[in-house]
Structure 1
């Protein structure tokens, strides 16, 4: 793979070396939470219980307990769990359908 020449704009920071770019990528990957990781963290922090209906879960049905992002941003995964709540699949569906129903009742198109 050959290098391409791209002129820098005046006043722009100097180009990074490949080692610096590799380190930046490693650091960014380390800061990201994978979906499995944040689910695991949320289950540890909030327990195996639905925050809405209070149903308790065990290993046989834990797959029915999901993580809901309160602000709707799936990339916002603070390590303290403040943007998560564990909801069973039924309460999670209800939570997401409320906005659609509200828009419909207000006369909107119901799309989110």
Structure 2
């Protein structure tokens, strides 16, 4: 009769430690910090959220700079998906340029990597 295989406690401890470490890393993200800092209510339409529909609540950066994440959360507001989309549409209407298009315009290529391709492909 075969006895049940005993669990490898060291491997289980590593899995649990890894899961806790990953949870701690997620908790340091601005979304998790904002959700812990503010009530789960849309700042525009006042819709309330629970764990069941929390994925529909987003963190909006008031100055539209996603790299500006102060520890006090002063650049964040929680908005539902619909209000967040509306806010970004209003920003595009006001400026005439989306934030993504502005970034793409700044990151234009300044060189041509294929300029010498024909001579490289020539066979002697």
- Report the TM-score, using the length of structure 1 for normalisation: 0.59
The match for 1:63 among 55, 60, 63 is 55
Query: Compared with structure 1, are the counterparts of its residues 45 and 93 closer, same or farther at alpha carbon in structure 2 (3 Å cutoff)?
Result: same
Number of positions where the alignment pairs a residue of Structure 1 with one of Structure 2? 74
> Is the 2:40–2:49 Cα contact (8 Å) retained in structure 1?
yes
Instruction: With the length of structure 2 as denominator, give the TM-score of the two structures.
Output: 0.54
With over 3 angstroms needed to count, the CA separation of the structure-2 counterparts of 1:34 and 1:73, relative to structure 1, is farther
Runs of 4+ in 1 over 3 A off after TM superposition: 33-36
Q: In the alignment, which residue of structure 1 is the partner of 2:37?
A: 45
Task: Give me the whole-angstrom Cα distance separating, in 2, the residues matched to 1:100 and 1:78.
Answer: 24
Superposed CA RMSD in Å reads 2.1
Structure 2 alignment gaps of length 5 or more: 1-24, 99-124
1:20-99 matches, within 5 Å, as 37-99=29-91
Unpaired runs of 5+ residues, structure 1, are 1-32, 104-109
User: Relative to total residues, which structure has the larger helix share, 1 or 2?
Assistant: 2
Q: Give the deviation of 1:34 after TM superposition.
A: 7.2
Q: Is the 8 A contact 2:26 2:32 kept in 1?
A: no
Whole-Å separation in 2 of the counterparts to 1:89 and 1:65 = 6
Greater relative contact order (CA < 8 Å, ≥ 6 in sequence)? 1
Whole-Å separation in 2 of the counterparts to 1:37 and 1:99:
25
Partner of 1:67: helix, strand, or coil?
strand
